[in-house]
C-alpha cells in the first residue's frame, strides 16, 4: 500500500506546532500502525531529518503507553484496539491518514505525538491503592466476594491508563479513567476501609489537574480500548456524594 500521512510535528509545549505531510510506500497490510511509523522514521533518519516522536513500550495492548488520534479518533476507528495493535490491513491503498497527539490541557505536548500524562500518576498517588499490613499471603477464598462484584471489579481493573478517554471527551474529562481506578478497589472487601477517603482524594486531584467535568456524552467509553463501561462514572459519582456528605 502507498499512503499519505499528515502528522502533527511540535518541538514542545511552547512551540506552535504544525501538520507535516509524508508519503510512505510499499506498506505491508500485516504491519502494525507503529511498525509503519518505524519504517517512516528509518527513512527520515537516513535522509538526515528528525524522526517522529511517539510513545510505545510493550506493543501488545497492555501497557497503555501508545496513543495518538488517528483520523479524528483516539487509537483509530477499530473498536477495542490500542494503536500498537491496530494493523494496516484496516486501511486502503491511497488513504490519507491524519495523526495527532492527545488534545487536552492537562496533557501538554512533549514532542510531536508524545504528551505528558503524569497527571494520571498524580491521581493514582492521591488514593488509587489500599493500605494493608504486610505479612504472609492470606488463604485463597478466605474473604468471599460476590461474583457480580468480582466481575465488575476485574472489568474496571482492565483500564491501562492510556488517556484515550480524555482525548475523546469534548470536555477533556478524566472521569472514566478515575472511575475505573476507584471502582475496581471500591468493589472489593480490601478496598472498603478507605473507600470514602479514596474517592474524595482522587476526584479532587482530578479536578486540581485541570481535567473537565463529565457531561455523559459517552465518547470516552466508545473509544476505550478495554471497553470500560460508562456506569463506572455513575458509581464514582455516587461514592463521591456519600463521601462529601459525611
C-alpha cell at 97: 491518514
Number of domains into which the chain is organized = 2
Distances in whole angstroms, Cα of residue 52 to Cα of each of 73, 90, 119: 19, 22, 24
Could you tell me if 131 and 95 lie in one domain? no
The angle formed by the CA atoms of residues 209, 200 and 215, to the nearest 5 degrees, is: 60
Reply yes or no on whether the pLDDT at 246 is more than 80. Answer: no
Reply yes or no on whether the pLDDT at 143 is more than 90. Answer: no
Mean pLDDT of 106-118: 97
Distance CA 173, CA 17 (A): 23
Could you tell me if 60 and 96 lie in one domain? yes
Could you tell me if 203 and 234 lie in one domain? yes
Query: Which of 110, 126, 160 is the last residue in one of the domains?
Result: 110
Q: How confident is the model at residue 105 (pLDDT cuts 50, 70, 90)?
A: very high
Reply yes or no on whether the pLDDT at 142 is more than 90. Answer: no
pLDDT mean across residues, the chain = 95
pLDDT of residue 139: 77
CB burial of 47-78 (b: ≥16 within 10 Å; e: otherwise) equals eeeeebbbbbeebebebbbbbbbbeebbbbeb
Span 37-77, pLDDT tens digits: 999 999 999 999 999 999 999 999 999 999 999 999 999 99
Span 200-242, pLDDT tens digits: 999 999 999 999 999 999 999 999 999 999 999 999 999 999 9
Query: What CATH number does the domain containing 19 carry?
Result: 3.10.20.30
Could you tell me if 206 and 88 lie in one domain? no
C-alpha cell at 36: 509503519
Could you tell me if 99 and 196 lie in one domain? no
**Other CB atoms closer than 10 Å to residue 223's CB: what's the count?**
22
Q: Which domain holds residue 167?
A: 117-135+142-245
pLDDT of residue 131: 86
Could you tell me if 106 and 121 lie in one domain? no
CB of 130 closer than 8 Å to CB of 194: yes
Span 152-202, pLDDT tens digits: 999 999 999 999 999 999 999 999 999 999 999 999 998 999 999 999 999
Amino acid at each position: 500500500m502507498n499512503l499519505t500521512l499528515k502528522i502533527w510535528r511540535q518541538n514542545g509545549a511552547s512551540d506552535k506546532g504544525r501538520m507535516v505531510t509524508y508519503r510512505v510506500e510499499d506498506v505491508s497490510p500485516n504491519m502494525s500502525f507503529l511498525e509503519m511509523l518505524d519504517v517512516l522514521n528509518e527513512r527520515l533518519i537516513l535522509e538526515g531529518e528528525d524522526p517522529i516522536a511517539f510513545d510505545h513500550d510493550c506493543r501488545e495492548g497492555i501497557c497503555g503507553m501508545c496513543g495518538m488520534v488517528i483520523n479524528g479518533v483516539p487509537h483509530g476507528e477499530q473498536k477495542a484496539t490500542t494503536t500498537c495493535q491496530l494493523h494496516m490491513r484496516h486501511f486502503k491503498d491511497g488513504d490519507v491518514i491524519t495523526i495527532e497527539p492527545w488534545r487536552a490541557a492537562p496533557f501538554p505536548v512533549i514532542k510531536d505525538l508524545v504528551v505528558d500524562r503524569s497527571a494520571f500518576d498524580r491521581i493514582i498517588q492521591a488514593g488509587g491503592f489500599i493500605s494493608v499490613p504486610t505479612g504472609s499471603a492470606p488463604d485463597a477464598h478466605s474473604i468471599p466476594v460476590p461474583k457480580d462484584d468480582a466481575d465488575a471489579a476485574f472489568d474496571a481493573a482492565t483500564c491501562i491508563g492510556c488517556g484515550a478517554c480524555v482525548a475523546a471527551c469534548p470536555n477533556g474529562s478524566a472521569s472514566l479513567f478515575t472511575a475505573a481506578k476507584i471502582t475496581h478497589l471500591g468493589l472489593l472487601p480490601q478496598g472498603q476501609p478507605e473507600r470514602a477517603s479514596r474517592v474524595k482524594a482522587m476526584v479532587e486531584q482530578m479536578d486540581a489537574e485541570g481535567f473537565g467535568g463529565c457531561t455523559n456524552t459517552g465518547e470516552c467509553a466508545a473509544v476505550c480500548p478495554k471497553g470500560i463501561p460508562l456506569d463506572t462514572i455513575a458509581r464514582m459519582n455516587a461514592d463521591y456524594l456519600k463521601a462529601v456528605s459525611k
